[in-house]
A and B are shown apart, each in its own frame.
Chain A
């Protein structure tokens, strides 16, 4: 038992963090996901990580860093589908048969992966005839299309793989969320130290300090949960996988949402502007809260295991 990050994991984390700082600046992020971004992430190994011999733990560490930078794109799906489909992959987990599908990043994606209980199917995006873009999607960096009738895809894997993708997708989404929660804490702390009112930094006021303390604790507790889930995915049997997974998803989703809201509060009027990055975090947190199962579904799943 050594639940600390290993030297290699720390090096990986620092490497990805440095890359994000240098390459994925706020200015660049705001332009949205494109082919160049896909290629950079690909050449860094973000998508092939597990094929290159790393585990879910390392993938989670990587996605946490991508979350800190709120990098846009169907990153989780492209990672999951590595080796099964080429290019940029977006996806749908458990779509309702017959109902309209809402697909993220349709225009940049080459293929849509569809997970149902029986397995994984692939639908090439050019097979989709009619798709209507949402005029103004909630998260400006997550374009969404409404597709009335999704063509039946080609079945490429069975139920086991679908279940694995669903769990892995959940862990990576949760990892991304804790990265966001951490970034919100960092940004709000920095602002609280710099911004002065009543002749002193606002961070000296307890009402603000306590908001920030709760943020740091929320992110730290959720991080422990997400790392435990990732480690369990690599080494099933070490904990009850579906229980740690559901717990991690609940806590990570909450940390991302609440920390983004607190960050907006700490930033005051500035936080409510399009110009600051705060809203990007809050909006992405809402969007991710619906990825790979809702909070209520995870809570029900956890309760069912007690």
Chain B
């Protein structure tokens, strides 16, 4: 067990720190929450900026524009960018944090070459079209149909809660290609160009009064067969690859950022009981960062992050909720304005125990996969 970074890591840190000190002051200030054209420009410019400096896709293979850096350098990258308050991935979330890694693991050579460099350069914004009105936690119950017609899948159905759906260039799309087998077996994972005819995207207003996610209606949309990732009807397996990145690694930078927020809250917390609560939250976030280091170290040894990755999302959701509540208690009523960073954060973080699989679903998974407990019910057929 060794928590000390190597000399190579520290050299990387110094170089990165120097670059951030030069680069960040020249960045324009972040745009307003619902100015989507400006947000896309800001986030993709930052992505391009990272790319040009050699810091995009830290862990991705070099041949697709990544840095092929070691996992510990990735951690250093997260620590330093957070400390320097560098921009958040924003609209590049899906592309860089779970679609890209899925394509690296499961995509064809053509798909990798076509998309990975563009994701890293900020030239492609991705969104995720998984959830449906009647398939949320029970994602495998999805009903959006895809019928094969020559070189195309003809897709009809409805998706919901699609973050960045209104600005995405491509979507990770799940469709049902075989309705007659147990529901997990008839699913296929497709790359959906969001500008195909037959796609209608309608924004939904969130509790922030913002349009962060959308409904997506698909009416006989013709998706080329070459856009399929993995085999036909093997999409549930590919989906689990995507979800493992989405739940296991995608929010780690948020976690580090939460620690920064907790530290910044400290001077405003005076009540002794609240200070103890803050200490508790910080202890949890510190421990989650240590657990991340453990997962990364174990992944380096056996190629998979082990069971620790299952735990992060659940533990983080709870710690984040406590931090959010503490923020609200520390604020006085005059500050109850959604434009206040802490109020906005509190509202935004209400989604963490829901998005990417609810906390209840994470507990089911931990109970069944980590502890080996039996399922409550056997898998059902497609409704």
Q: A residues touching B (Cβ–Cβ < 8 Å)?
A: 1-6, 9, 57, 185, 189, 192-193, 200-201, 203-206, 209-210, 212-214, 216-217, 220-222, 224-225, 227-228, 230-232, 235, 238-239, 243-244, 246-248, 250-251, 296, 298-303, 306
Contact in complex: A220, B311 (CB < 8 Å): yes
Q: Is the interface of B mostly helix, strand, loop or mixed?
A: helix
Within B293-345, which residues are at the interface with A (CB < 8 Å)?
293-294, 296-298, 300-301, 307-308, 311, 314-315
Contact in complex: A212, B367 (CB < 8 Å): yes
Q: From B1, B293, B374, give the contact of A204 (CB < 8 A).
A: B374
Contact in complex: A228, B287 (CB < 8 Å): yes
Interchain nearest-CB distance for A190 vs B (Å):
10
Contact in complex: B363, A221 (CB < 8 Å): no
Contact in complex: A213, B1 (CB < 8 Å): no
Interchain nearest-CB distance for B361 vs A (Å):
11
Contact in complex: B314, A217 (CB < 8 Å): yes
Contact in complex: B282, A247 (CB < 8 Å): yes
Which B residues are in CB contact (< 8 Å) with A302? Answer: 279, 282-283
Contact in complex: B315, A244 (CB < 8 Å): no
Contact in complex: A244, B6 (CB < 8 Å): no
Pairs A-B, 10 closest by C-beta atoms? A247-B283, A209-B367, A306-B266, A225-B287, A299-B276, A4-B297, A302-B279, A213-B363, A203-B373, A224-B291
Cα distance A246–B275 when bound, in Å?
A: 14
Contact in complex: A189, B373 (CB < 8 Å): yes
Q: From B294, B307, B360, B375, give the contact of A210 (CB < 8 A).
A: B360
Which A residues are in CB contact (< 8 Å) with B276? Answer: 296, 299-300, 303
Contact in complex: B1, A231 (CB < 8 Å): yes
Q: B residues touching A (Cβ–Cβ < 8 Å)?
A: 1-6, 9, 72, 75, 262-263, 266, 269, 272, 275-276, 278-280, 282-284, 286-288, 290-291, 293-294, 296-298, 300-301, 307-308, 311, 314-315, 360, 362-364, 366-368, 370-376
What is the total of A-B residue contacts with beta carbons within 8 Å? Answer: 172
Q: From B262, B290, B300, give the contact of A224 (CB < 8 A).
A: B290
Contact in complex: A1, B279 (CB < 8 Å): no
Query: Which chain A residue has the least Cβ–Cβ distance from B366?
Result: A213
Which A residues are in CB contact (< 8 Å) with B297? Answer: 1-4
**Interface CB pairs A-B, < 8 A, 7:** A1-B5, A1-B9, A204-B376, A206-B363, A243-B286, A248-B287, A303-B275
Cα distance A200–B377 when bound, in Å?
A: 11
Contact in complex: A235, B3 (CB < 8 Å): yes
Contact in complex: B72, A221 (CB < 8 Å): no
Which B residues are in CB contact (< 8 Å) with A244? Answer: 286
Query: Which chain B residue has the least Cβ–Cβ distance from A57?
Result: B1
Which A residues are in CB contact (< 8 Å) with B280? Answer: 250, 299
Contact in complex: B287, A3 (CB < 8 Å): no
Query: Which chain B residue has the least Cβ–Cβ distance from A302?
Result: B279
Query: Which chain B residue has the least Cβ–Cβ distance from A249?
Result: B283
Contact in complex: A1, B293 (CB < 8 Å): yes
Cα distance A214–B372 when bound, in Å?
A: 14
Interchain nearest-CB distance for B34 vs A (Å):
34
Contact in complex: B290, A225 (CB < 8 Å): yes
Contact in complex: A217, B311 (CB < 8 Å): yes
Contact in complex: B363, A210 (CB < 8 Å): yes
Decide: A4 near B298, CB < 8 A? Known: A213-B363, A224-B287: yes
Q: Most chain-A Cβ atoms within 10 A of its Cβ — which of B1, B300, B360?
A: B1
Decide: A3 near B294, CB < 8 A? Known: A209-B363, A216-B371, A303-B279: yes
Query: Which chain A residue has the least Cβ–Cβ distance from B310?
Result: A217
Interchain nearest-CB distance for B37 vs A (Å):
39
Q: From A9, A57, A212, A217, give the contact of B315 (CB < 8 A).
A: A217
Interchain nearest-CB distance for B263 vs A (Å):
6
Contact in complex: B286, A204 (CB < 8 Å): no
Contact in complex: B311, A306 (CB < 8 Å): no
Which B residues are in CB contact (< 8 Å) with A6? Answer: 1
